[in-house]
Chain A
Amino acid sequence: MNGMAICVAPRIIAGVLFPLHPPAASTIARDVDDLYFTLTGITLFFTFLIFGLIFYFMIKYRRRSENEIPRDVKTSMPLEITWTLVPTLISAILFVWSARLYVKNSEPPAGSMEIFVIGKQWMWQLQHPEGAREIDELHVPVGVPIKLTMTSQDVIHDFYVPAFRIKKDVLPGRYSSIWFEATKVGEYDFACAQYCGAEHAAMTGRVYVMKEPDYAKWLASQSNGKSMAQTGQQLFVSLGCATCHAESTGGKYPTLAGVYGHSVKLRDGRTIVADDAYLRNAISKPGTEPVAGYAPAMPSFQGQINEEQLLDLIAYIKSLGTQESQTAVQ
């Protein structure tokens, strides 16, 4: 790190004009930055090496007379092997390092708090299971792992929180997820990082990281008295789901208690876990993955309910029995 001393002066000057680092406010930010700065070091080393050699050779071996013809230098096999193997080795180390970190950062910790994100041209809608709904703002408690389950109502968006070093595309027709655990109370920007049309650049917002009691207070003040599951229950009745999915049909149609997070046997013989993605599909496109043992009688709700209502319905189904969901989802 002998470059440190040379770096300090320009850094101080530059730091006055513009920030040099984005805030680092999540558990993974430090790890990502370590890799980032290692890469920066490697880049600077080789850039200086190559530019340095070029300048050195340019001066040392400058043409001294018009008729000068240098002798050929025989290609050295050991040298060729060296500069093939060195980049290969560096690449291998970087690959393993970055891949391990990526895999680790991809997996939300068990028991993460869940928040739902819906992207639409050109706003973000965020829903807390307790019922709070926000537009372009996200309130979260500090020190709690939070899993975002995200979908888009129209085109592809991307949820990006630079301070947390997280980013994931938000796709129509499916759920994607990311997680983070904020480490510092404060306000941080989030942005759409996938071009989505005219007002793409306006599709930004703020994350408010709060202490847990403050978050609880905020949550209580926001809720309109109904959790997502309760809203889902109302929909379940008003959309007519309750007519068939009930004990009273005597097993003709499946009841949904305890379905969430459990294995489901499909007509084609596969067994899959009834997670958010499966339930979303089962409601909007019932014919595609029918459950074994029941007649395919369910109508499609595609186009009749929006993403928000779908999430409410899934929250309701989830509330009907989730005792084993933790093991199953993981």
Chain B
Amino acid sequence: MSVDVAELSTRSCVHYLNASYGIKSWLLTTDHKRIGLLYLVSITFMFLVGAGAAALMRLQLLEPYGAIVQPETYNKLFSIHGIIMVFFFLIPSIPAVLGNFLVPLMIGAKDVAFPKLNLLSWYIFVLGSLFTLYCVIFGGVDTGWTFYTPFSSMYSNTHVLAAALGIFVTGFSSILTGLNFIVTIHRMRAPGMTWFRLPLFIWSIYATSIIFVLGTPVLAITLFLLTLERVLHVGIFDPAVGGDPLLFQHLFWFYSHPAVYIMVLPAMGVVSELVAAYSRKRIYGYSFVAFSSLAIAFISFLVWGHHMFVSGQSIYAGLVFSLMSFLVAIPSAIKVFNWTATLYKGSISYDAPMLYALGFIGLFTMGGLTGLFLASLATDVHLNGTYFVVAHFHYIMVGGAVMGFMGGIHFWWPKITGRLYPDKWARLAALIIFAGFNLTFFPQFMLGYLGMPRRYAVYPAQFQVLNVMSTAGATILGIGYMIPLIYLLWSMRYGPVAGPNPWRAKGLEWQTPSPPPEENFEETPIVTEEAYSYASVPPEKSRV
């Protein structure tokens, strides 16, 4: 399978980016790589909207009585921040951008199984985004991203329907993308690419796709029921019209807890790739890492009730959900130990993607361990609904998922664009993001333990110092995010030409030119070795 690198970089001047020009060639493309880029542009835009809302929230919380806006506005800010970041950035981030770009490349296929369906997914995503942006521009929504009833169905007088419709529509994009990946991974692997030769990124995308397909319909149903009650006053969730207020929470979290793993599993896949590539070693305990993804996907459907320990659900339900929540932590711990062990006796370089990957491992460890405080029933009673929860899930979703996304974008950027970015700036930005992130969210753990509830537009003065620290951190974090935006755009035009494999990494995607030709490979690759076979001397036959 060895391909002469020098030869690759000189031939094939026609690639997926310059094969055709014009807006139409992008809007009607069925090339998975171009669709990945369409997603990248869309979710980056949505990220900026969501980040803008976060910036205003942090400004507001500089002062106990609220520095800039009225409570009604603040409520809309955190609602729109949550809705956009969860449904329009994190969920599609790695799967729809890097997954689309990489799944066919990594398994040696020409495209995904259903290229037109893939384009349709993007249009559905855009349609959903438009509903959401309509909602933001024409007054906003104030229910939080969780839409708890009966507040959302009967009491809120904001644009609940537009927001729900946006998420409802976007869900179909997730379902179709998941379906596409599952079929692609099953049916389109190159000759010799057996399941246990797959890169771990593919395993994690596979596990994520299963959650997409199984979980998202429940979210759609839940939002539909919410709409029924809001528009037609059918008694489903509001006891005043004969409904059950907790039913909504059960349905919502049945999707939305697995959704956490939709966000973090793909990042775990990225981290596996990065750790292997920058220590030039096969991932330690490959099959343990692969199966822990599936274990997480499976158990994640059985833990939703841990969001409801203080909701009034039965004590016995609480016990079961607590136990399952402890269980779901174990496969995550296995991954962390295996990544760390991969570094042992490796050849470690500190390129920017690796800094993100190592940052991920540390921050995800903290996010996971602080999850134990919330899985523990007795401590959850105190911490539920406070800033502790906010800090915990930002460690998972920003410290985890966003770090993974940033690391992945930096790792595959030369493959995507054919250009290198300035490495010093990239490393600097990674460190700024790491520092800013911790300063933003670590104080929030303390705020939560001290008893500051989340979603408060104003707060008691004793919490001000910690809030100011958090806002200072958010400022640094914001700067950290701006730097890559600038140098990545710069590099597209002025960056040095990358060549097919600037990192000297293993994996089929590095054995084709950068940017890849439209059909990915000039001839179908034949796989003869396991993933990450860096070592010149193959290890003994045993594979655990």
Contact = CB atoms under 8 A, between A and B. Distances in A.
Nearest to B463: A18
B240 interface: yes
A36 B343 contact: no
Interface in A62-78: 62-64, 68-75, 77
Instruction: Report the contact-size class of chain B (Cβ under 8 Å from the partner).
Output: 35 or more
Contact of A192 (B150, B370, B453): B453
Given A22-B450, A69-B535, A197-B142, A91 B329 contact: yes
B450 A98 contact: no
Contacts of B148: 155-156, 194-195
Interface stretch (A108-116, A158-166, A246-254, A255-263): A158-166
A94 B453 contact: no
A191 B453 contact: yes
B506 to A, nearest CB: 11
B347 interface: yes
A156 B351 CA distance: 49
Given A167-B310, A169-B311, A94 B376 contact: yes
B430 to A, nearest CB: 14
B384 interface: yes
Contacts of A20: 446
Contacts of B260: none
A271 to B, nearest CB: 20
B404 to A, nearest CB: 16
Interface stretch (B88-96, B184-192, B284-292, B520-528): B284-292
Q: Which of B71, B377, B538 has the most CB of A within 10 A?
A: B377
Interface string A187-200: 00101111111111
B28 interface: no
A120 to B, nearest CB: 11
B543 A75 contact: yes
A196 B453 contact: no
Interface stretch (A42-50, A129-137, A141-149, A220-228): A42-50
B348 A61 contact: yes
Nearest to A177: B312
B535 A197 contact: no
B378 A160 contact: no
Interface string A12-36: 0000011111100000000110011
Interface string B339-354: 0110111111110000
Contacts of B361: 50, 54
B322 interface: yes
Contact of B341 (A36, A79, A92, A303): A79
Contacts of A84: 288, 330, 333-334
Given A167-B310, A167-B384, A58 B343 contact: yes
Contacts of A88: 330
Contacts of A155: 148, 150-151, 154-155
Contacts of A171: 239, 245-246, 311-312
A35 B71 contact: no
A57 B312 contact: no
A272 interface: no
Interface string B232-271: 0000001110000110000000000000000000000000
Q: Which of B156, B337, B344, B458 has the most CB of A within 10 A?
A: B337
A98 B377 contact: yes
B347 A70 contact: yes
Given A168-B310, A198-B142, A202-B71, A39 B376 contact: yes
Given A80-B285, A198-B71, A57 B344 contact: yes
A134 B231 CA distance: 37
B230 interface: no
B322 to A, nearest CB: 6
B330 A70 contact: no
Given A39-B373, A156-B148, A167 B329 contact: no
A173 B243 CA distance: 9
Nearest to B336: A50
Interface in A92-134: 92, 94-95, 97-99, 101-103, 105-106, 121
Contacts of A102: 309, 315, 318-319, 322, 377-378, 381
B216 interface: no
Contacts of B450: 18-19, 21-22, 162
A171 to B, nearest CB: 5
Contacts of B535: 69-72
Q: Which of B282, B455, B543 has the most CB of A within 10 A?
A: B455
A174 B350 CA distance: 58
A57 B337 CA distance: 13
A308 interface: no
Q: Which of B240, B369, B370, B376 has the most CB of A within 10 A?
A: B376
Given A98-B322, A105-B378, A167-B385, A36 B312 contact: no
A329 interface: no
Given A84-B334, A174-B312, A200 B75 contact: yes
Contact of A69 (B280, B362, B457): B280
B458 A202 contact: yes
A46 B333 CA distance: 10
| A-B interface, 8 closest residue pairs, ranked by CB to CB distance from nearest | A173-B239, A162-B451, A102-B377, A98-B376, A193-B385, A57-B343, A101-B378, A91-B326
27 contacts: A18-B446, A18-B462, A21-B450, A32-B378, A47-B365, A50-B336, A53-B343, A57-B344, A58-B348, A61-B279, A69-B535, A69-B536, A71-B537, A75-B286, A79-B341, A80-B544, A158-B310, A165-B382, A166-B382, A167-B381, A167-B382, A173-B245, A174-B239, A191-B453, A195-B75, A200-B457, A303-B240
Interface of A: 17-22, 31-32, 35-36, 39, 42-43, 46-47, 50-51, 53-54, 57-58, 61-64, 68-75, 77, 79-80, 83-84, 87-88, 91-92, 94-95, 97-99, 101-103, 105-106, 121, 154-156, 158, 160, 162-163, 165-169, 171-174, 176, 189, 191-202, 204, 303
Given A98-B376, A154-B150, A160-B385, 18 more contacts: A22-B451, A54-B343, A54-B362, A61-B279, A70-B345, A70-B346, A70-B535, A72-B282, A72-B534, A73-B539, A77-B544, A95-B322, A95-B323, A102-B322, A155-B150, A172-B240, A172-B245, A196-B151
